[in-house]
Each structure stands twice: as structure tokens, then as C-alpha cells.
Amino acid sequence: MIRISDIIDKVTENNPDADVDIIDRAYIYSARVHDGQVRLSGEPYLSHPLEVAGILADMNLDMVSVAAALLHDVLEDTKATPSEIKEMFGEDVMNIVSGVTKLGKLSFRNSQERYAESIRKMLLAMADDIRVILIKLADRLHNMRTLKFHTDQKRIEIAQETLDIYAPISARLGIYWMKNEFEDTSFMYLQPEEYLKIKALVNKDKDEREKYIETVKNYIKNKMDEYHLNCEVLGRYKYFYSIYQKMAKQNLTFDDIYDVIAFRIILDTIPQCYEALGLIHALWKPISKKFKDYIGIPKPNMYRSLHTSVIGPFGERMEIQIRTKEMDRVAKSGIAAHWSYKEGKRIDENISKKFSWIQNLVENQKEFKHPDEFLENVRIDLFADEVYVFTPRGDIRSLPSGATPVDFAYSIHSEVGNQCTGAKVNGSMVHLNYRLKTGDTIEIITSKNHHPSKDWLKFVKTVKARSRIRQWIKTQEKDRSLTLGREMCEKTFRKNNLNFNTLLKAGQTEKVAEHFGFKTVDDLLASVGYGKITPLQIVGRIIPKPKVEVEEETLLNKILGRVRKKRPGSGVVVKGVDDILIKFGKCCQPVPGDSITGYITQGFGVTVHRTRCVNALRMNPERQIEVEWNKDIAETYSVKIQVTSFDRVGLLADITSVISRNEANIVGVNTKTLDNKTVDGCFTISVKDTAQLRKIMSDLKKIKLVHHVRRLDG
Ligand code: MN
């Protein structure tokens, strides 16, 4: 069992000026509150926090980390309170200990593979202070070292969780020694047979291998000396789990894996690294695909090194890593290297700018005098674009940052989303546009008769929620169109002495649907509701050449003198559909340039009104349909204008000449002389568009003694 004096020795060895008082006090306090508790190993409980603190001291972390490590279990297992910790050891220690306790309480019921990544990220994101994670890792490391005292079942559970969660986190943070230990220990408990097999294979011919290592080291050393490169050469066995993975992944036998041993060359400067690489490649033939330059392009976790594989002196495959002392230090402790006690120490400024969060980390460490600011930044930068939240059952969901309870509801199930009426976050009701935060537990309140709202589209963040809401709205519109289409058909058929429903049952409409290119009769009816097809067109397919009122309408138009050279309505487009009958409301006489809207008229396609038309406003909004002017077609449209003037000789001639000078036809005139010598002239003229109309009206106003000119809306 490690003693507190050993820990203090480690700390002072690295930092002779360190004020170890806080560590002393934390030790005394921890010993007092854990007094009488015993571990499964039979050792006093205190041995565990001491070992954890020892690991952190070895990692050269700051005093606060080491003190917090000594106290990391006191909130969980003893009567100690956060306020007591805060009072005695300060806010930092209290926050870290609380953080470790909080993470310890998360239960990963579903530690299936698909959750593993989310859980890993969540663990990282939930820690307000990266030191919480470092203590949590050291805690797990010591628990793994003493795992043999647990039951078989418990061992497997803990080892699997370590392999799924803790090993990848330590790798992500660049603490590879820890990752390797996690993997090898978990491997030992999870697949003991495989583990022992590989162990035996590695140990076989050990003497010969040791000789081999010495030989290769000498080759390298001599070559470096020849070029006056001062270096250290190391040869080490690869970890069992990585050998196992390599065998399993590439389906190799142990004998096929030559590079069980890896060599490392450690130099002083970066140029020396590249020089050494050149010398190695000159000595032994490189395997080209295996070369990696993590100095030029560091890994996101700050790892830097040159990796190469060569054909070694005995024709074997050999892996060599080349790096500086500083890189080696970082490779060993990862993120911890940047959070050591030595505040004054600067990180190499050449660390690639390409990795934004690392870049921030590095730059901020230089800028921020206060460690809290730096830590805050580490936390934010780890996963700024995601939030991790819980279902009431404790499952984890990851959502994009800014996601709302509606996004969460749709991530559970489309129906939950569709029927979502409200949400509780951590037990309190919130608005549906509440922005979820990592760690929130969300409960969705649903109601059978509730439907999505168009407004939700304004705040949802996920693609799934957005598309499901849109889909629902579309289905709704289709249902409405279907009902409307059916109603329109029934009426039109009745007018033509046909019974729509009888024909429907007789299967007659199916052929019609097919004729118009629809798969089902429902689709056909919906498109009637949309106004794409008129009920008369359907009647037309059932009784050949029906006598329809359209012709009368056209005839009437001719009588009235409305100019309709082309087929009616071609000047207006209905939602991109061209094959539809268009009429114009006589009440408001729309002209191109006017804002218009369409209404489906039973049996007669679409009637176009001006948006402001009083008659249009009275129509059933369900029959409303979007229309727009077709700019490609030049037609003329009748419009009524009223000219009020003092009666005088030549007035009518002046008016008609203004109109014809503007290239408009006069279709009808109706004048009335009033008592006070004013005359009201009502002119029906045909114009191309509102621009032409406006010009005519303004020219009319300039005529002598004309009081005013206005357009009649009917
Ligand atoms: Mn612990």
C-alpha cells in the first residue's frame, strides 16, 4: 500500500516548491471519514484514494487534483458534505469531488455498443473540469488493478465497461499508457484463454527476442552516432490486446505478426527526427503505405510522432516511432501533459492549427492567467456541437446543440413527436422550444388527439423532426383535398344525372384514375381537391362528349366582348398545373399585376379573384388555391373604370383618344349626367396589365375638367 509520504515525495520531486499542505490535510480528513471502512481486498478503504492520488501524482498533476483524488469517494461513501469540503479545501476541490461523485452515479444500463460512443462523449461533456475525468480514469485504473477481488459476474461487467468506455476516453485524451493498461487488463478478464495464449506466445523464445531487440537497437544507435545524432533507442513488446486485435482483424496467426516488438527513437529536435527517419529508410527498405507523419499533422489529441514500418535486418517487418523528448512526454500523458503543475511550461507553438479544439486549448492556456477560464474552455471545446440528454428510463440520446424537446420526442418515435403536447425537463415543465442542455432528463407529455404544429418548424433542429412534421402537414392537406375532391365529384355527377358513389363502387372510376396517370382513385380525387383536375374531366371520361356549361361560359364571354383569343385562363398558372379551366371573377376583374388568389368552383375549375375582392374573402378558405400570373402569355383583360368630370363639349372624344393612344380597346361605355352638370362615365376597357391601366388612369386625370378617375371593383 502506498503511503502519503510516498505521494508527497513524488509531488515534491517534480515540483520542489510545491505547497503540499492541502495534500496533507486532505489525507488526514479522508483517513478520518473513511475510518473503519474496508475494501474487498481486506485492506483499509483509505488505500484506494491513496493509490488514486499516487497515480495522479505520477502524472504530475497539480495539488488540487491530488487532494481531490484523496477525497474522491468521501461524498459517496461517508457522511462528508460538499459544504464541508468547500470550507476546508476550497471551491475547486469541492467541484471536482462533486463531479466525480456525479459521474459515479450515472448508470449505463444499456452499455451496448451503439451507446458506447454517446456515453463516452457524455462523460467528457458532463465534467465541468477535465480533472474530474482524470480522477475518474485513475479511479477506474486502480479498480481494474484490484478487480480480482470481485465476483466473476462483476468482473466481466466492469471489464467490459472499461473496454467500452474508459479505454477510448483515455485514448481520446492521449493518455496511451492508461489506454493500454485498461485494454490489457479488461482483455485478461473478458477473454482469459486468448489472453493467456498470447502471453505464452510472447514469452516463448524470450531470450532470443531480447537478443534481437539488442541487435536492432545497436544497428540504429550506430547509424545515428555516425551522423552525430544524439538519441535514445527503446525496444518494447506490443500490448497483448493490440496483438490480439491485429490477429483477429487481419485473420493472422501469431507467427505472421512479426512486429510484436516496436522500436522508438527519441531525439532532441524536430529536424533531427526527420533526419533520423531518412537514415532509417536508407538502412532498411520502408513499407510505403505504413508511413505516418503525425509531426506535420498531429492527432487531435496532440499526439505527435513519425511512424514507419521497414523490412528489418532479418527480412522481418519492423515498426519504428521517431519523436522528440517533449513529444514522448505528451504521448505518455496526453492532455494531462498540458495540465501539469508546471504552469510556466510552454507548449510547442508549432502544434498544428488544423485541430481547432486543440488549438484553442493551446492558445487559451497561454492567454488565460486563471486556470478556471482555461478549464471552462477545455470543457466547451470538447463537444460544442452536441448535447447529451436522458430519457426518463436513463437511456442516453445525443442531439445537435440547440435541440428542443420536440426534437427529442421525434428521436424517440415519430408518434411521440406527433402527439407531443408538452415536456418536463428535470421534473419541471418547459416550453417546447426550450434548448436542451447536456445532462437534462426529459419527459415528453403526449396526448392521443394532439397534432404537430407548423410553428414547430421554426425551432426544431433535427432533420428527423423537420421531415416528420412536414410529412404530417402534407398528409393532412391530402386528406382535406380528398374530402373536397369527393364532395366536388358527387355534386358534379349529380348535376349530370350520375351517381358518383354507385360508379365508384362499380369500379368505373379506376379506369379514369389510370387514364389520368394515378395509381389509386383516392389519388385522383385528391388531385380534384387540389384543383389539378376538374370533376367535369372525370365526367367526360364516363359519358363521352358531355354537354357542359363551359361552352356557354365561353359564348357568354364572346357576347360580352371579353377578348379570349387563346383558350381561357392560360394567362394564369395554378401551382404549376396547366391543364385546368380558369375563370375570372366578374366582380373584381383581375388584371396582370394585381395580387390574385384562386378558388375551386364546383364543376368549373378555378375562379380567379383579386386578393382584396370582397366576394373572395367570403369564400370557404378550404377551396382556396394558389395561383399566379403567367408572364409568358400576353392577353388582354376587361376592367371597368369610372371617370367623373364636369360636362363639356368634346369630353368623350378626349377620353376615348387617351384610351386608344394607350393602345387599349374600349369594350363598353355607359355615361350618366348628374344634376350638378357633372358626368359619370363608366368605361369597360381591355388592358394587358396594371401598368397599362395605371398609365391610362393617370393620363385621364390630366384631361381638362376631369375630377377623378377610379377603378371599379364591382
Ligand atoms: Mn473510487
Between CA 216 and CA 280 the distance in angstroms is 11
Q: How far is the CA of 13 from the centre of ligand 1 (A)?
A: 25
Residue among 77, 326, 376, 490 flagged as catalytic: 77
Residue with cell 373536397: 484
Q: How far is the CA of 460 from the centre of ligand 1 (A)?
A: 41
Asked whether the whole model's pTM tops 0.75, one would answer: no
Q: How far is the CA of 442 from the centre of ligand 1 (A)?
A: 29
Name the residue type at position 33: V
Q: How far is the CA of 80 from the centre of ligand 1 (A)?
A: 15
CB atoms within 10 A of CB 575: 14
Task: List helix spans (H) across 451-534.
Answer: 463-495, 500-505, 508-515, 521-530
CA 676 to chain centre: 75
CB atoms within 10 A of CB 213: 17
Q: How far is the CA of 1 from the centre of ligand 1 (A)?
A: 15
The HSE-up count of residue 527 (CA atoms within 13 Å, CB side) is 19
Q: What is the pLDDT of residue 548?
A: 40
Pairing of strands 261-267, 317-324: parallel
User: Residue 350: left if φ>0, alpha if ψ -120 to 50, beta else—which one?
Assistant: alpha
Name the residue type at position 620: N
Between CA 245 and CA 32 the distance in angstroms is 45
Cβ atoms of 658 and 628 within 8 Å: the answer is no
Name the residue type at position 204: K
Q: How far is the CA of 125 from the centre of ligand 1 (A)?
A: 20
DSSP single-letter state for residue 423 = E
**Residue 626 designated active-site:** no
Q: How far is the CA of 67 from the centre of ligand 1 (A)?
A: 14
Q: What is the pLDDT of residue 609?
A: 87
Burial of 497 (0-12, 13-18, 19+ CB in 10 A): exposed
Cβ atoms of 549 and 540 within 8 Å: the answer is no
Between CA 589 and CA 586 the distance in angstroms is 5
**What phi, psi does 611 have (nearest 5°)?**
-55, -35
Strands (E), 165-296: 232-237, 261-267, 285-286, 292-293
**Residue 395 designated active-site:** no
Q: What is the pLDDT of residue 704?
A: 87
Q: What is the pLDDT of residue 130?
A: 75
Q: How far is the CA of 49 from the centre of ligand 1 (A)?
A: 6
Cβ atoms of 67 and 96 within 8 Å: the answer is no
Q: How far is the CA of 388 from the centre of ligand 1 (A)?
A: 24
- C-alpha grid cell, residue 332: 505518455
Cβ atoms of 473 and 452 within 8 Å: the answer is yes
Which has the closest alpha carbon to 268: 303, 234, 231? 231
Between CA 692 and CA 686 the distance in angstroms is 10
Q: How far is the CA of 357 from the centre of ligand 1 (A)?
A: 30
User: Residue 361: left if φ>0, alpha if ψ -120 to 50, beta else—which one?
Assistant: alpha
Q: How far is the CA of 488 from the centre of ligand 1 (A)?
A: 74
Q: How far is the CA of 242 from the centre of ligand 1 (A)?
A: 28
Secondary structure (3-state) at 326:
helix
Between CA 443 and CA 423 the distance in angstroms is 6
Between CA 396 and CA 374 the distance in angstroms is 28
Q: How far is the CA of 121 from the centre of ligand 1 (A)?
A: 21
The HSE-up count of residue 249 (CA atoms within 13 Å, CB side) is 7
- Which residues lie closer than 8 Å to 654 by C-beta, 6 or more apart? 703, 704
**What phi, psi does 679 have (nearest 5°)?**
-125, 135
Residue among 19, 76, 552, 663 flagged as catalytic: 76
Between CA 255 and CA 312 the distance in angstroms is 16
Q: How far is the CA of 606 from the centre of ligand 1 (A)?
A: 76
Q: How far is the CA of 164 from the centre of ligand 1 (A)?
A: 19
Q: What is the dihedral of CA 197, 198, 204, 207, to 10 degrees?
A: -150
Q: How far is the CA of 73 from the centre of ligand 1 (A)?
A: 5
Q: How far is the CA of 106 from the centre of ligand 1 (A)?
A: 14
Cβ atoms of 410 and 471 within 8 Å: the answer is no
Name the residue type at position 603: G
Instruction: Going from the first residue of the chain to its last (714 residues), give the mean pLDDT of each consecutive group of 10, the final group possibly shorter.
Output: 89 80 93 88 90 90 89 89 92 88 66 54 62 89 92 89 83 83 95 91 81 91 92 89 84 71 92 94 86 82 86 86 89 63 36 33 43 45 66 79 93 91 91 88 90 90 88 85 88 84 80 84 86 83 54 44 43 66 81 85 76 78 79 81 87 87 86 82 89 92 89 74
Cβ atoms of 714 and 589 within 8 Å: the answer is yes
- C-alpha grid cell, residue 297: 499533422
Helix 508-515 × helix 535-542 angle, to 10° = 120
Residue with cell 392577353: 635
Q: How far is the CA of 391 from the centre of ligand 1 (A)?
A: 27
Residue with cell 506490443: 238
Q: How far is the CA of 587 from the centre of ligand 1 (A)?
A: 84
Q: What is the pLDDT of residue 343?
A: 38
Residue with cell 464541508: 84
- Which residues lie closer than 8 Å to 27 by C-beta, 6 or more apart? 4, 50, 70
**Size (the chain), residues:** 714
Between CA 280 and CA 304 the distance in angstroms is 18
Cβ atoms of 484 and 529 within 8 Å: the answer is yes
Cβ atoms of 26 and 70 within 8 Å: the answer is yes
Q: How far is the CA of 370 from the centre of ligand 1 (A)?
A: 29
Q: What is the pLDDT of residue 126?
A: 58
